[in-house]
Structure formats: C-alpha cells, structure tokens
Structure 1
Amino acid sequence: MTNPSKRKGTAFESTVVPYLREHHNPAAHRNVQMGAEDIGDISGYYLHALEAKAEKSIDLPGYIRQANREAVNVGQPFGCAVVKKRNATVADAYVVRDLRTDVRLMNRLRDAEELLRDVAPTVYADFEQRHREAA
C-alpha cells in the first residue's frame, strides 16, 4: 500500500476492530471495499454502518453522509463515523452521527427499555443497575 492516507486509515480501522471485539461484539470485523455500494468500514457495531476516519482535516458532514448512505446499502437503521482523536487512544475517538439519526436511536432505546420495564420489571431493574454508569 503506497498511499499514506490509506495506510493511516487502515491502521485506525485495525485499532477500532479489536476495541469493538473486546468491549462490544467479538464478531466485529473490517469490511472489504465495495465501491459504489460500500457497506461501511467495519461491521459488528450493533445496528450501525460504521465509517472509521483518521484524517488531518475533519469533514463531519461528509462522514455522516457517507455513513448514512452505507447504512442504507447494508440494511442497518443507523450510520455513524468513528473519528480518530489526535494523540489519543482508540477509546477516546469520537462517535459522530447527525441529530436526526441520534434521536431515532434514542427513541428506539427508550421504547425498548419501557417495554422491558413493563414486561419484566425485575429483569429491567437488574439491567438498569448493570448499565448505570456516569460518563
């Protein structure tokens, strides 16, 4: 690979995947480039097409457009970009989506939690305790 930008992007993707495997989904993996019908850089981020970006000049609108287009291509409800934070670990990268997408995601989460609370209150209480962690 002779393109330094491509090499930097591949290196970042190669740090995001192990992080996702350890903390989210052991089956997370890098995708093969698909051209016009691209499906995102990484699969296995629940409900998302994920674009990984490690660029000097950050283009949030372009990243979001690309992620949302790729979510449609792969049949996922949400797209997001994981943007490398300079001089920081992969855990400090930024996950970026437009407000429209984030509101849809939060509505889905809220509705799922309300359903769980109504159908199985004790399971919900355990779930709530396990996931209650301040930023």
Structure 2
Amino acid sequence: MSNPSKAKGTAWESLVVNYLRLMHNPAARRNVQMGAKDIGDIDGYYLHALEAKAERTITLADYIVQANREAVHAGQPFGCAVVKRRMKGVADGYVVRDLATDVRLVNRLKIMEEALQDADFGRWSDIDEELREAA
C-alpha cells in the first residue's frame, strides 16, 4: 500500500477486528467502504456502527459525528469510535461516544437487566456474579 496513513488505518482496523473476534463476536469483519452512505469501518460490535481511528491528531468531535451518521446508515442504534492509543495495544484503545449516545445505551442496558430480573432472577443473578468476577 503506497499511502502510509491508509496502511496504518487498515492495520488498526484489522487489529480491532481480530480483538472483537476473540473477545466479543467471531463474525466481526471489516466493512467495504460505501461512499456517501458509509456504514462504519467494522461490523459485528453488537448494536454499533464502529469507526476505527489511528491518527496522530485525535479529533473526537469529528469521529463522533461520523460514527453517529454511519450508525444511521447501518441501521444500528449506536455509533462509536475506537481510537488507537499511542504506544499501546489494541485492548488499550479508547471507545468513544457522545454522552447522549451513552445515556441511550445505559438506559437500554438498565431496562434489559430489569426485564431479565423480572423474568428469571436466578439467571440474572448468575450472570451478574460471573461478570463482576471477570471485571
């Protein structure tokens, strides 16, 4: 690849996809660029359009605008950017979204947890304990 910046971005996207495949969703994959109706860089991050960024100068506001726009194009409720942290590995990257998106996400999580507690408290309790131990 003759463009070093593009190569760096592609390498970061690949690292993020590999991490997601291992830790979250084996079907995670890089998306084909769609031009004006782009749907994000990576598919397979549950409920999200994901924009991967590995740039020297970090411009969070631009990343969030792009991620939110691409979430709409992808038909996903949430957009986020995964930003490379300099001199660190993929697991140390930053997942960034605006507060409005994060509140919608946390509200959804809260409602779903309450529904699971009502439907099957024992299952909710087991899952809660397992996730707390893993943290």
Say yes or no: TM over 0.5.
Answer: yes
Cross-structure match for 2:105: 105
Aligned equivalents of 1:89 and 1:3: distance in 2?
22
1:114 aligns with 2:110: no
Correspondence list, 1:1-135, <5 A = 1-133=1-133
CA RMSD of superposed structures (Å): 1.0
Aligned equivalents of 1:38 and 1:7: distance in 2?
19
Aligned equivalents of 1:29 and 1:133: distance in 2?
29
Specify the code of the residue in structure 2 equivalent to 1:116.
L
Aligned equivalents of 1:37 and 1:126: distance in 2?
42
Aligned equivalents of 2:132 and 2:50: distance in 1?
25
Aligned equivalents of 2:69 and 2:6: distance in 1?
21
Instruction: Please report how far the alpha carbon of residue 125 of structure 1 lies from its aligned counterpart in structure 2 after TM superposition.
Output: 0.7
Instruction: Count how many residue pairs are aligned between Structure 1 and Structure 2.
Output: 135
Aligned equivalents of 1:123 and 1:134: distance in 2?
17
Once the two structures are superposed, residues 43-84 of structure 1 have per-residue CA deviations (whole angstroms, 9 ceiling, x without a partner) of 000000000000000000000000000000000000000000
TM-score (norm 1): 0.97
Aligned equivalents of 1:131 and 1:68: distance in 2?
28
Q: Secondary structure at the match of 1:132?
A: helix
* Large movers: runs of 4+ above 4 Å: none
Instruction: Please report how far the alpha carbon of residue 133 of structure 1 lies from its aligned counterpart in structure 2 after TM superposition.
Output: 4.3
Query: In structure 2, do the counterparts of structure 1 residues 55 and 28 end up closer, same or farther at CA, with 3 Å as the change threshold?
Result: same
For structure 1, list consecutive stretches of 5 or more residues without a partner in the other structure: none
Identical-pair percentage: 69
